[in-house]
Amino acid sequence: MRLVFRPIRRAGEELRAVTREPISRHLETYMEMHSFGFPDRPTPEDLPVSVRIAAAAKEIHDRAAILSPVLRRLENLGWDVHIDGDQVVASTPLDPEAGWDLLRHQGIGDQILGLAERSSDLPPARVAVGGGEPQDPYLTEPLEGPG
């Protein structure tokens, strides 16, 4: 199984991405706070370069803060994690189904799916994120529906 991550994109892409719709509320607030010194409140279309760079740096920082512990967990599970160009590649000899089962069991499958690039091995349908009901060890009978 092979997972590919891109913690940092090309500079131009990072700088464009911060104003690509839809802009998250936390990033919009961050850009507003950094725009207070300008006489005309900038909009995403005319955002000053200084604010754009600050917003891109924040996004890179946030992405790295999420990706770093996930990669550490993969390394601790014995996965080979290395840098290949501008990508980080994590691999294991497990086939995708067994790999995703392991990641779900470790509680990081949902996080990884949101971070992995399209060139990663995706989970099979039966272990896809949100694809099953969580098992409750204390639940012995099916819950009855409303009514």
Task: Kindly report the pTM of this predicted structure.
Answer: 0.71
Confidence of residue 44 (pLDDT cuts 50, 70, 90): confident
Q: Which helix (H) or strand (E) holds 7?
A: none
The per-residue pLDDT for 38 is 75
SS3 35: coil
Q: What is the mean pLDDT of residues 119-123?
A: 91
Strands across the sheet containing 80-84: 2-5, 87-91, 80-84
According to DSSP, the residues that pair with 84 across neighbouring strands are 87
The per-residue pLDDT for 128 is 56
Convert the pLDDT of each residue in 46-97 to its tens digit: 788 888 888 899 989 999 999 999 999 999 999 999 999 989 999 999 999 9
Domain assignments of the chain as residue spans, ordered by start:
2-127
**DSSP letters for 48-97:** -HHHHHHHHHHHHHHHHHHHHHHHHHHHHTT-EEEEETTEEEEE-SS-HH
